[in-house]
Structure 1
Amino acid sequence: MAPLGVSGIVAPGIAEFFTQSSNPPSLKSRLLNGEKLYGALSLSYSPVNAEILGWAGYDFVVVDMEHGPGDTFSALPILRALSSAGTPAIIRVPDNDEIYVKKALDLGPAGIMFPKIDSAEEARDAVASCRYPPLGCRGAAPPLIRASRYGLDSDYLASCEQDLLIMCQAESEEAVNNLEEIVQVEGVDCIHFGPRDLRASIGLLRYPDDPRGLALLKKGERAVRSFGKKILLGGFSTPESSPAEMYDRGYDLVCGAVDVALFRDAVVADLKKNKIRSIS
């Protein structure tokens, strides 16, 4: 591994000072090798919270730009905090838009998650935004971005596309009905289910116990598992579908904890246990 100059070639006079560091197996390769991984969702955009999640031992952390308040600029300290703990980051972009994707990928996440992919055409657009031309439409500045260690990683162009975990979320009845076509899109690595959005798509957001919601989710799971090519199965756990149950149904990765919810629950528990209320 040697550094890249601005032009994309090895920077003269620097290579002899550059020490190659060994990289751990990518998140994608670990999953394809059969590991079952458990991760957390970061909505607070707190680097301290991210460090705690990483050092505590979560296998990955999803940095949420869809429901979280942050953008790519505020996501950068989160990725740095996770990197200090050796924890892979997945960025969930707000939309299937090549501008969001380009800025997110330049930060160097291990994976990228696309919300609300309802069709094979949308899945192809998602994959194209992750590929440099001629295979896609990602803007090219590899020697200058964090993902390439600002040009110090000369292997970046050779490995970035094969190492990146591309995740398409199935969050609607339409998506479930189109999964047989979506999973055949070259470059889609994982179908990640959003159970609350699935219920919402059939009018059941306020009825988590209605069996039709779980039935729709399981229909989608069967469509993914029945596809011959190896497509990873991922999802968010809920009170109605625990991580253990999801692994039993064939999930490869489960995102369970949410940093703001962990803090909320700890605060409520502390207040219930310790706050002294005056007696009138």
Structure 2
Amino acid sequence: MWVCSGSPLIAELCAGSGLDWLLVDAEHSPNGLESILAQLQAVNGYPVEVLVRPPVNDTVLIKQYLDLGVQNLLVPMVNSVQEAEAAVAATRYPPHGVRGVGSALARASRWNRVPGYLARASETVSVTVQIESTAAVEAVKEILAVDGVDGIFLGPSDLAASMGVLGQQEHPKVRAAVEHCLAAAKTAGKPAGVNAFNPATARSYLAAGAAFVLVGADVAILARGSEALAAAFTKPSDGETPASY
């Protein structure tokens, strides 16, 4: 599920829920370096995988995330082979990439307490890139072939917008594009994930080969749950607007 609140307490609640994985999001959520660090610390030790999504495919920002101890990156808006290669390069030290060297100052190496960290750092990092435009769908086979791209993740919302059907994640041509990419990933031998809050759609994508699915979000659960309480126990004061407290 998505972890979007920016709260370490909420992240820890979600980490202990029994879910397989969490996505700490900084693209559409109020997460900065300090709150991401606090959430990584809060969920450490729980039996859950954690991905972190930066707001942009940026070399400097990715360096900072890795130094914090982020090990699984979900890089948004990767539309081409060149952009996929740039994401990978940002996670590798020279000569294999462009990651800046600061391990003595970084939680990732436990401040140089991890023996041989610089030589082995790339082994501790996974790079999943987001396919969420028509250009990315067209280039998905080539993106999957990029050395260092460990998997792809489909974003039906932005894909729908790119296809001219904004807000229609269930549109047949959006679903067809998602399934095309799932098939391409299977052929490439790499995992593919997708966002699907509709349970029936999530199960359909799992049946079509998705290896992992986002099926909810902390803020959405709180919003819908609190609305349900309001609907059950309060009377609207003006039309459909509930009374405030």
Residue 177 of structure 1: CA displacement? 0.4
Normalised TM-score (structure 2): 0.90
Q: How does 1:30-41 map to 2 (within 5 A)?
A: 40-41=1-2
Larger gyration radius, structure 1 or structure 2: 1
**Larger mean Cα displacement after TM superposition, 111-120 or 231-240:** 231-240
2:148 maps to 1:148: no
Task: For 1:79 and 1:87, locate their aligned partners in 2 and report how far apart those are by CA, in whole Å.
Answer: 11
Task: For 2:49 and 2:176, locate their aligned partners in 1 and report how far apart those are by CA, in whole Å.
Answer: 32
Q: 1:13 matched to which residue of 2?
A: none
Q: How does 1:217-256 map to 2 (within 5 A)?
A: 217-227=178-188, 230-239=189-198, 242-256=201-215
Distance of aligned partners of 1:160 and 1:256 in 2 relative to their CA distance in 1, 3 Å threshold: farther
Residue 125 of structure 1: CA displacement? 0.5
Structure 2 residue corresponding to 1:263, chosen from 212, 222, 225: 222
Task: For 1:111 and 1:53, locate their aligned partners in 2 and report how far apart those are by CA, in whole Å.
Answer: 17
Report Cα offsets for 1:130-185 as digits up to 9, x if no partner: 00111000011112211112222225334431231100100001101001211111
Structure 1 residue corresponding to 2:171, chosen from 197, 210, 224: 210
RMSD between aligned residues: 1.8
Task: For 2:236 and 2:5, locate their aligned partners in 1 and report how far apart those are by CA, in whole Å.
Answer: 30
SS in 2 for 1:146: coil
RCO comparison, higher one (Cα < 8 Å, 6+): 1
Task: For 2:150 and 2:166, locate their aligned partners in 1 and report how far apart those are by CA, in whole Å.
Answer: 28
Q: How does 1:84-163 map to 2 (within 5 A)?
A: 84-163=45-124
**Larger mean Cα displacement after TM superposition, 137-146 or 152-161:** 152-161
Structure 1 residue corresponding to 2:39, chosen from 75, 78, 86: 78
Structure 1 residue corresponding to 2:143, chosen from 166, 182, 195: 182
- Structure 1 spans left out of the alignment, 5+ residues: 1-39
SS in 2 for 1:242: helix
Aligned residue pair count: 237
Distance of aligned partners of 1:98 and 1:180 in 2 relative to their CA distance in 1, 3 Å threshold: same
Maintained 8 Å contact 1:51/1:84:
no
- Structure 2 spans left out of the alignment, 5+ residues: 238-245
Normalised TM-score (structure 1): 0.79
Report Cα offsets for 1:177-201 as digits up to 9, x if no partner: 0012111110000011001111110
Distance of aligned partners of 1:141 and 1:90 in 2 relative to their CA distance in 1, 3 Å threshold: same
Task: For 1:113 and 1:192, locate their aligned partners in 2 and report how far apart those are by CA, in whole Å.
Answer: 8
